Amino acid sequence: MRIRGLLAGATAGLLALGLAACGADEPEASTGPVSLRMTVWTSNEAHLKLFNEIADAYKAKNPRVTEIKFDPIPFESYTTTLTTQIAGGNGPDLAWVLESSAPDFVSSGALLPLDDTLAKADGYNTADLSPAATNLWKNEGKLYAYPFSTSPFGVFVNNDLLTAAGQPTPAQLIAKGEWTWDKAVAVASAAHAKNGKGGLVVRDFDYKTWDNLATVWTGWGAQAWSADGKTCGFDQQPMVDAMTFLHKAIFTDQALPGPGTSADFFAADAAMTITQISRASLLKEAKFGWDLVPLPAGPKGAYSVIGQAGLGALRKGKSPDVAADFLAFFTSPANSAKLAAYFPPPRTSLLTADTLAKTNPLLKPEQLQSVVINGISTGVVKPSHSGQAEIAQAVRSALDPLWKADADVKTVLGGVCTAINPLLSK
């Protein structure tokens, strides 16, 4: 079995954590009572309620499974905490895995291959799983995690704030063929100037999670690194142009909240936010008129960016065979349809606007079609690379000088490549 280390960022620096576990692909069958723990990064009550309902149904069919616990870990420290638990012998039985960590987890030996378990599950229909959605989670032809969420990013809009500022809504701009990044920044800047609230927020970025900026720079045709992962893209002209545009939008136009400033769209503190449809549940009690639209077109035209998350069974869990069986139940056609209320599934049969609308009552079929269905068919996945945690920390540190009003964008981006080139070549 090939053994690889997953480098995870820790508060005291970078800690190398060996994840691989040697052994046969098929785990030994466990006996006696079973308790399962699954790590997630959501603490949303609606999400957890659904998860627990699915778990209760599984326990009813499998009496020896006495407990299935969903263990929320904060998103910003999720991978670090998870890998630390695994390295310390206290790993979960199942875990969500970020797309950025997929290359490390999938090739490390930490996860159990799922093909046989899913093929044997009654009515599972593995042929329904989109090859494009599962590609990131495969190694040497085997599937190591189920991509439970394949979710394009869109823009949630507070139409009331924009109208009060005398600005056109994105829907109006779309109707005129003018929904571009230039227009988005202009209306966001005007809204901020009028009401003092945030203009446009790239949710979960907060000047730390830099890969969320792929939702912006992809419009310029920029990439963090080449498709083969060997060549840095930060010092290339498309990225320089994109980051120059973003820097001006932040520090000159004040269209985006600056460093140290927060604005929560879902609390009516911002005119627009870039995020995924799983956040729509936060609008259930919204007191303002809102919309969901695709990302603005960039100089290279219309585009979409996808965030993925995989669900895997840990090979070194206490009962890996039961964990894999629960994973098959959790992601069955029936339960995938329920989960689709928050997490767009990889099942092609469920990827229709009408089907998704049944479990997403807050969203209109046309919103789901334009943002989710069309986005999945054309989108690119956020950056991922083997050794991602170490690379991500190096990029974040090298980008820090960019978040100042007088930053030299091109010089800073050149410094990013200097920092990560040795890591890309590993």
In tens, the pLDDT along 114-139 reads: 999 999 999 999 999 988 889 999 99
Largest CA distance in the chain: 66
Q: How far is CA 33 from the centre of its chain?
A: 34
pLDDT in tens, 350-393: 988 888 888 788 899 999 999 988 888 888 889 988 888 899 99
* Average pLDDT over every residue of 267-278: 94
Q: Which two tokens stand for residue 347?
A: 């099942």
| CA 241 to each of CA 274, 297, 421: distance values in angstroms, whole numbers, following the listed order | 20, 15, 21
pTM score, whole prediction: 0.81
Closest CA to 54 of 326, 320, 277: 326
Q: Which two tokens stand for residue 140?
A: 């040497």
Annotation: CATH topology of 154-303+387-424? D-Maltodextrin-Binding Protein; domain 2 (3.40.190)
Q: What pLDDT does residue 362 have?
A: 87
* Average pLDDT over every residue of 277-282: 84
Closest CA to 59 of 30, 35, 83, 43: 35
Closest CA to 145 of 192, 108, 194, 186: 108
* Average pLDDT over every residue of 390-412: 97
Q: Which two tokens stand for residue 202?
A: 């790239």
Q: What pLDDT does residue 9 have?
A: 36
Alpha-helical (H) ranges within 178-332 are 181-195, 214-217, 237-251, 320-330
86 burial via Cβ count (<10 Å: 0-12, 13-18, 19+): buried
Q: Which CATH superfamily is domain 5-152+307-381 in?
A: Periplasmic binding protein-like II (3.40.190.10)
Confirm if 207 and 406 have CB atoms less than 8 A apart. no
Is the pLDDT at 14 greater than 60? The verdict is no
Name the phi and psi angles at 16, rounded to 5. Answer: -80, 125
Domains 5-152+307-381 and 154-303+387-424 share a fold: yes
Domain ranges of the chain: 5-152+307-381, 154-303+387-424
